[in-house]
Structure 1
Amino acid sequence: MRPPVSRPRPISLAAALAVALPAVAVSSAQAQESTGQPLILKSVKQLHQTKRKDARPAMALSADRITSEMDQTSTAEGDVQLRYGGMLLKSKTLRYDYPQDLATAEGDVELSQNGAVLRGPKLELVVDKFEGQLESPTYFFAATGGSGSAKALHFLGDQRMRADEATYSTCPVSEKGEQDLQDAKAGKKGQRDWELVTSSLNLDFDAGEGVAKDAVVRFLGVPILAAPSLSFPLGDQPKSGLLPPNVNIDNRSGVEYSQPFYWSIAPNRDATITPFVMTRRGPGVDSQFRYLEPGHRGQIDYALLPHDRVTGRSRWDLRLNGDGDITPNWTYNVHTERVSDDDYWKDLRSRMLSQTPRLLSTDLRTQRDFSFNWGEMQTYARVQKWQPLQVAQVEDQFASPYQRSPQIGVRLQTGADESVLAGYLPTGRRARLEGGLEVEYNRFDLPGGALSSQTQTGERMHLLGHVSLPFSGAAWWLIPKLSVNAASYNLDQAVDATGRRSIGRTIPTFSVDHGWILERNTSLFGQAMRQTLEPRLLYVNTPYRDQSLIPNFDAAPRDYNFDSVFAENQFSGVDRVNDANMLAFGATTRWIEDEKGEEQLRLGMVQRYLFRNQRITPDGTPQTHRLSDVVLLASAHLNQAWWTDSTLQLNSSDGKVERTVLRLRYSPGPFRTVSASYRLARGQSEQVELAWQWPLFGPDRKAVAGGPGCAGAWYGAGRLQYSMRDKRFTDSVIGAEYDSGCWILRVGAERQATGRAETNTRLILQLELVGLSPLGSNALKVLRDNIPGYRSLSSERSAFGTYD
């Protein structure tokens, strides 16, 4: 199991040498071939030529003058070139000893192999064994764009080498243009913005390990990272050792410094232990354990702050995530997160994984699948618990969802094609009855932290079933369907004044779904297009059943949008079913470019017509208007730079806007994107958002950041969210990036709302040495998570991937 992407390699000189020189372990393609796995093509920055183990490559020697003694020696002078397999050796003079297979080259020696260029005054090399020494070498690696020098480079065979007093950097010697870049490729001495220096670098590809002695990273002449001895993996296999430190600053915890240590326990197990100290809260430790067993996989995270000096108590966060196979058809899943206290999400948000930090779940599931010639069956069991994190302000408290302890059920489904279930039957398939059945038992409890107004608990047994008969033609479908929702409740509290605790109901639904997909050739703004017209009708008839005494354990109103208009029930869950005698109708038309098949324009409209008043509605108010709200949709991608899409919900009775989402994005090229959005839910929220990544000043890098010359350039990046209803900024981030070409500095601030009048402000600072490791806080992840279309400035230059 590999370390996660967010753990960069601690040293890149070794990785560059591993890519460049003949002492390369078996390539990934060879490994895939040997294990019988299919080969996967990957783009590389140089061609690799491998030597057959059962045959010695041909040797070719050319020069201005060559003198030879048969089977003894050859001496070449003037423009000497020795080719052996994928290796090219150039020099002014060369002497080759046939019995010893020894080549001695002097004068402007240049050795090229797999995209690497090594230069030095003298080389002694046993060619086939690849043993020897290059004196005072300088080197340039095409794979990484980095260069450096060493006192000596010792070739110790196919799988080992040693470099004495080695340096490495992706920075040119100076920043004055193309000539200096060529000097950097030649490895000429000079001042670099950053440089890695080691007294000794040993690489053992058989053991898969590299060891650097007295490794120091200097930035602008100042040592910023040092280690007396640093070991690291060669290739993709994990290796225990220190990872780059992290620094975070926020207004709640002060300055935080953490030092991760990666522990490779076994090929399928690893752990990361990260001690940290906060200037305001004190020391603590983060830990992560991962495992990958046959049929089982998972991860355990535990963050501990033994004594928080601000709150005076111990604080922790525990996360368990795992899944696996009990048998080939019987699976299980475990997902849980728990924290020590209600304020954890405010003070230590960065240590939480949940997307809903105020509502943490524990979800344990198991499922057994069965396959039959008529369809499939699943039996399942589940336990679901919640930890709501409430605040003191009553207006900011929320109702907790119910816990399932347990949930046990069985589902049966006929073998319908997915396209049938989605509402479209392919042409040529004979119509047949399709159906499904779900029978389930639930015990509903309330978690600690539930509101005092939440009192009802109890048990429910429900049955959901449907049967349909799909028909279709070349471009149409017609699906009549009969459904039933039946539930029986045994409650802990009385439902009425008589003391009754048991109640039940059965609600049938009849529906007919009908639609067309029509096409024609046309044009739009002078371009050849294919236009579609996709009308759809859905008739639903559900009788009214009084549900005022029925508890609501899991039902919630569906958002009214382009898709939910065609839902048979306006509630999710089981406990609520709206009555209906209505027709949902609408149409979508799309313009699709013929040449590339890209959608350029989409327009749509949907609405409902009620044949009788609806008494059970999502907002609790009976619907007496025949026409429901209308939903309009539009999206356009008329050229490569502009995207826009919008949805609009209009009240049919007064014409007012109930909900709307408007989005616009402009991206004329790499590292240039601006997006704006507006969201309105009448009576609930109104919000505008602006996000961007854009050059501020410096060299123009429309194609690739960090072009020749590596002159610095500033970029702005950020996202601002503003609540027009509350008249304040909510979750936002704003930052700037300086790209020197071989290093990138990211600075900024992230603001997260933790209450109506509370915020958590975090400063972000990260220095990325291109081709090495990022240092500081994880600013790159913050920018990527917050800015639509954001692209890392180093994405085109790093040979080792993009760091999270």
Structure 2
Amino acid sequence: MPRPRAERLLALALAAGLPLGAAAQVGAMDDFTPPPALPAAPAVPVPAPASAPARQQAGADANLPVDVQADRIGGRPDVDVEAEGEVDVRRGDVRVQADRVRFRQDTQVLKAEGNVRMSQQGNRAKGTELEYKLDTSQGYVLEPEYFIAVTKGGGTAERVDFLGPNRARIIEGNYTSCGLDGEGAPAWLLTAERVDLDMDANEGIARGGVLRFMGVPILAAPRLSFPLSDERKSGWLPPFINIDNRNGLDVAVPYYWNIAPNRDATLTPTLSARRGPGLNSEYRYLEPTYQGRLNLNLLPNDRVAGETRYAFGFEHSGTAYDMGYRTAGVRVSDDNYWKDFTRGTSALMNARTNPYLTPRLLGAEAQVDRGLGDLGLAGGQWRSYARVLSWQVLQDTDPAARITPPYERLPQIGLQGGAPLGGGLRMELQTEINRFSRAPSADPTTIEATRVHALGSLSRPWTTSWGWLTPKASFNAASYSFDQALSDGRTSTSRLIPTLSVDTGLVFERPFSLFGSNLRQTLEPRLLYVRTPYHAQSTPLFDSSVKDFNITSLYAENTFTGVDRVSDANQITAGVTSRFLDAAGGNEVGRFSVAQRVLLSDQRITADGVPITQRLSDLLLQGASTITQHWNADGTLQYKHQTGQVSSWTAGARYSPGPYRTLALRYRYTRDSSDQIEVGWQWPVYGTVPGSLIKRDSSGGCGGGGTLYAVGRTLYSKKESRLVDGIGGFEYDAGCWIFRAIGERISTGTAQATTRLMLQLELVGLSRLGTNPLQLLRTTVPGYLMLRDDPSGATPPPASYE
């Protein structure tokens, strides 16, 4: 089960205040400069005591020797060691440096004074005095200044007490990831009167915690419990704030409940300035044979709508009795829910529960499937399945904006598979029984029916490194039983439509040089012949529609999706593709294709019932290329011979000269339909981004030195002269904190839109406060890179703490 991000206030911050023994801490800062090894005083190994079973329980390091290096070393053999001048003491991964050190072997107590420095597992601490019992991990350090490797942050305290292995107490401590060089106050600072840390229990308890930003207190808590690692722990998460034109100001404060290692829940009380209080919830579970989640967003009394509003989402999947099963769906209270709570609805949907990817069409399904093996056909693979699918359609009061819901399948039962036969033949078969029912909001005159269909094929592929040839015979058979009589009085009908096809192609290859680069160029001509006899088809369309015109549909045997329509065909599709491959690595740096269909006779089965008599289809050209290391471009063009005009074309380019710099432009045009321009960007507009990493303010103070980025994406319709959708705003990276201000506009109709403002303050190494726009930016802005990410995998350099 995915673990939530440990973004509780004080979480990794004061948790990291434990300078020793924090098992989750990784990474490092520039180390303290070690003293040079002095030949006059070589390292003196001090053996560990032979007794003390209790000490053995303190960890494996209890049996390791203690190495001491210093200018002067003295003491009593087997009793104590006294060292002065550039003292360096090590045991395992624990290292102590100081001006003076005394170590008692019998008690395992190490005392250090003067410029004390201590390090373990990448964490550092400096102080004036240290007393530490090596075998029990007990002791203290006075006036420490510490650095935490995992968060790249640190702070100071009056005192840190070590209470045993993986336990500590910080007295009057503070924490920040801004620079600690003493030049000005840190931009943000977290302070607490006392912090108790227990790594074994993965718990920290802070008392009197106050968070200040630019010297202003922005959050305070008398007592706060938080986790010390990425392990899950119950507790309050940072609040979310949302501002939009439909709901006004929304505030949400999530509470995470770690029920068990395989179960958790998040309860989020919400308060809307316009609509009133509500509660969002999510429950997740994970078992050896099943898993799932439940979501419920509830607004008991919407003051604007005057009713209860809700959104419910569920997903459950697993295996039982050699079968896989899954159920998922989304349901909301009313037709306007998607307009009022746009992101709330989207968060409950995914591509499985909502394959149409529109918040107005909400699916609910349940399915089971079972593998049947080869069914006696060696090398075969078969499976059976059953499914039910229903829809909730959110209709609009505007008749022009209403949508036609798809049919529900109650149920869909099928068998699918294939197997090799003798002589190189291969057979494929799919057969289904479907009960098509109209959705509740559909036209009552919509005809319901039961359909039984079978799709099968027999092919004989020949394949070599230089080409292929695949003749194939296939069929589409279907039988319908209608609940209402058709216009001709029929209540049932059946048909069987055969298809013959031959698909062949060649592959030529040659060395090629372009702008000094060694490439391999291919030339891949392809021909597809399809013969399907005409068969009258007048049944309603339950799952069929015309395929989009693209390179894939041009090489398809049927111009329709689904089963209800099979286009008659006597045609050849001809095309050629040329690819350019990097000679060394084999990466594709360019691809260009052209294809066209030639009708040898009229096509009578069409979407509008008007036969296609033109012998030549539209000519399709497409290409994509990595022009240089920083430039990518692609495009398609559809040309109609009959009119001598371009039917549609798209073109796009993206320029990415380095991290956090991307500009993308795409134009889409379809004659008499759409004309859209899409622009996306992430670009520094103030500050410096040298090389591959952002230049961050090393001081971390309240001064300048940060970088301001513009980020966004817009989709503009020239045909309608309006902005369809868009997001845009700024990110300011000051090194130890990042501020984001992002605006979003989502169209909910031809003249309606929802706009919202997202404000977020990220305190690097601590937490994020406000509304998180990062997921939206990653999925919407082409090439967007989060400011703490780097494509090379390198970690951005931390601010200096020395």
TM-score above 0.5, yes or no: yes
CA contact (8 A) 1:522 1:531 kept: yes
Aligned counterpart in structure 2 of residue 542 of structure 1, from 532, 542, 548: 532
Give, in angstroms, the shift of residue 52 of structure 1: 7.4
Aligned counterpart in structure 1 of residue 453 of structure 2, from 457, 462, 478: 462
CA contact (8 A) 1:608 1:627 kept: yes
Query: Corresponding residue for 1:32?
Result: none
Indicate whether 1:507 and 2:507 are aligned. Answer: no
Query: Corresponding residue for 1:434?
Result: 426
Query: Corresponding residue for 1:16?
Result: 16
Aligned counterpart in structure 2 of residue 223 of structure 1, from 201, 217, 221: 217
CA contact (8 A) 2:373 2:380 kept: yes
Indicate whether 1:524 and 2:507 are aligned. Answer: no
Give, in angstroms, the shift of residue 701 of structure 1: 4.4
Give, in angstroms, the shift of residue 56 of structure 1: 2.2
Aligned counterpart in structure 2 of residue 206 of structure 1, from 197, 200, 204: 200
CA contact (8 A) 2:17 2:146 kept: no
- What is the alpha-carbon distance in structure 1 between the residues aligned to residue 161 and residue 385 of structure 2? 62
2:204 alignment partner AA: G
- What is the alpha-carbon distance in structure 2 between the residues aligned to residue 57 and residue 583 of structure 1? 80
- What is the alpha-carbon distance in structure 2 between the residues aligned to residue 720 and residue 275 of structure 1? 33
Q: Helix, strand or coil: the match of 1:782? A: helix
Q: Which runs of structure 2 are paired with 1:397-796 in the superposition (5 Å)?
A: 397-414=402-419, 432-451=424-443, 455-497=446-488, 499-548=489-538, 550-709=539-698, 711-795=705-789
Deviates more, 1:481-490 or 1:69-78: 69-78
2:457 alignment partner AA: H
CA deviations 1:557-587 (Å, max 9, x no partner) are 1111011111111111110110001111111
1:154 alignment partner AA: D
Indicate whether 1:366 and 2:358 are aligned. Answer: no
CA deviations 1:756-795 (Å, max 9, x no partner) are 1111110111111111111111222222222011111133
CA gap 1:474/1:9 in 2 versus in 1, 3 angstroms: farther
- What is the alpha-carbon distance in structure 1 between the residues aligned to residue 120 and residue 176 of structure 2? 19
Q: Helix, strand or coil: the match of 1:12? A: helix
CA contact (8 A) 1:771 1:798 kept: no
- What is the alpha-carbon distance in structure 1 between the residues aligned to residue 545 and residue 362 of structure 2? 19
2:383 alignment partner AA: Q
CA deviations 1:328-366 (Å, max 9, x no partner) are x31111110011101111111111133310100011111
CA contact (8 A) 2:328 2:365 kept: yes
Give, in angstroms, the shift of residue 638 of structure 1: 2.2
Indicate whether 1:377 and 2:382 are aligned. Answer: yes
CA gap 1:463/1:700 in 2 versus in 1, 3 angstroms: closer
Deviates more, 1:401-410 or 1:468-477: 468-477
Query: Corresponding residue for 2:333?
Result: 340
Q: Which runs of structure 2 are paired with 1:102-113 in the superposition (5 Å)?
A: 102-113=109-120
Aligned counterpart in structure 2 of residue 356 of structure 1, from 355, 358, 372: 358
CA contact (8 A) 2:12 2:228 kept: no
Q: Helix, strand or coil: the match of 1:345? A: helix
- What is the alpha-carbon distance in structure 1 between the residues aligned to residue 658 and residue 427 of structure 2? 50
Aligned counterpart in structure 2 of residue 59 of structure 1, from 58, 66, 69: 66
CA gap 1:593/1:611 in 2 versus in 1, 3 angstroms: same
- What is the alpha-carbon distance in structure 2 between the residues aligned to residue 474 and residue 643 of structure 1? 30
Q: Which runs of structure 2 are paired with 1:148-227 in the superposition (5 Å)?
A: 148-173=155-180, 183=181, 191-227=185-221
Query: Corresponding residue for 1:257?
Result: 251
Give, in angstroms, the shift of residue 517 of structure 1: 2.5
- What is the alpha-carbon distance in structure 1 between the residues aligned to residue 449 and residue 608 of structure 2? 25
Query: Corresponding residue for 1:235?
Result: 229
- What is the alpha-carbon distance in structure 2 between the residues aligned to residue 431 and residue 415 of structure 1? 9
- What is the alpha-carbon distance in structure 1 between the residues aligned to residue 110 and residue 419 of structure 2? 74
Q: Helix, strand or coil: the match of 1:237? A: coil
Give, in angstroms, the shift of residue 197 of structure 1: 1.3
Query: Corresponding residue for 2:324?
Result: 331
Give, in angstroms, the shift of residue 205 of structure 1: 2.1
User: How many residues get paired?
Assistant: 751
CA contact (8 A) 1:23 1:157 kept: no
CA deviations 1:432-479 (Å, max 9, x no partner) are 111111221111111122246x51111111111111111122321111
- What is the alpha-carbon distance in structure 2 between the residues aligned to residue 491 and residue 6 of structure 1? 57
- What is the alpha-carbon distance in structure 2 between the residues aligned to residue 170 and residue 47 of structure 1? 15
- What is the alpha-carbon distance in structure 1 between the residues aligned to residue 326 and residue 672 of structure 2? 40
Deviates more, 1:360-369 or 1:1-10: 1-10
CA gap 1:693/1:679 in 2 versus in 1, 3 angstroms: same
Give, in angstroms, the shift of residue 605 of structure 1: 0.6
- What is the alpha-carbon distance in structure 2 between the residues aligned to residue 798 and residue 404 of structure 1? 53
- What is the alpha-carbon distance in structure 1 between the residues aligned to residue 423 and residue 166 of structure 2? 65
1:614 alignment partner AA: Q
Q: Helix, strand or coil: the match of 2:75? A: strand
Q: Helix, strand or coil: the match of 1:645? A: strand
Give, in angstroms, the shift of residue 798 of structure 1: 8.7
- Identity %, equivalent residues: 43
- What is the alpha-carbon distance in structure 2 between the residues aligned to residue 540 and residue 140 of structure 1? 71
CA contact (8 A) 1:2 1:237 kept: no
Q: Helix, strand or coil: the match of 2:63? A: coil
- What is the alpha-carbon distance in structure 1 between the residues aligned to residue 107 and residue 584 of structure 2? 63
Give, in angstroms, the shift of residue 203 of structure 1: 1.9
Q: Helix, strand or coil: the match of 1:512? A: strand
Deviates more, 1:631-640 or 1:368-377: 368-377
1:407 alignment partner AA: Q
- What is the alpha-carbon distance in structure 2 between the residues aligned to residue 603 and residue 628 of structure 1? 19
1:501 alignment partner AA: T
CA contact (8 A) 1:443 1:459 kept: yes
Q: Helix, strand or coil: the match of 1:544? A: coil
1:86 alignment partner AA: D
- What is the alpha-carbon distance in structure 1 between the residues aligned to residue 735 and residue 61 of structure 2? 44
Q: TM-score, normalised by structure 2?
A: 0.90
CA gap 1:194/1:119 in 2 versus in 1, 3 angstroms: same
Query: Corresponding residue for 1:426?
Result: none
Q: Helix, strand or coil: the match of 2:715? A: strand
- What is the alpha-carbon distance in structure 1 between the residues aligned to residue 476 and residue 298 of structure 2? 47
CA gap 1:565/1:5 in 2 versus in 1, 3 angstroms: farther
Query: Corresponding residue for 1:387?
Result: 392
Q: Helix, strand or coil: the match of 2:359? A: coil
2:135 alignment partner AA: D
CA deviations 1:612-633 (Å, max 9, x no partner) are 1111124543211111111101
CA contact (8 A) 1:410 1:440 kept: yes
2:473 alignment partner AA: L
- What is the alpha-carbon distance in structure 2 between the residues aligned to residue 445 and residue 708 of structure 1? 63
CA gap 1:768/1:301 in 2 versus in 1, 3 angstroms: same
- What is the alpha-carbon distance in structure 2 between the residues aligned to residue 116 and residue 374 of structure 1? 58
CA contact (8 A) 1:431 1:470 kept: no
Give, in angstroms, the shift of residue 706 of structure 1: 4.7
Give, in angstroms, the shift of residue 214 of structure 1: 2.2
- Tell me, which stretches of 5 or more residues in structure 2 are unaligned? 32-57, 350-356
Deviates more, 1:367-376 or 1:665-674: 367-376
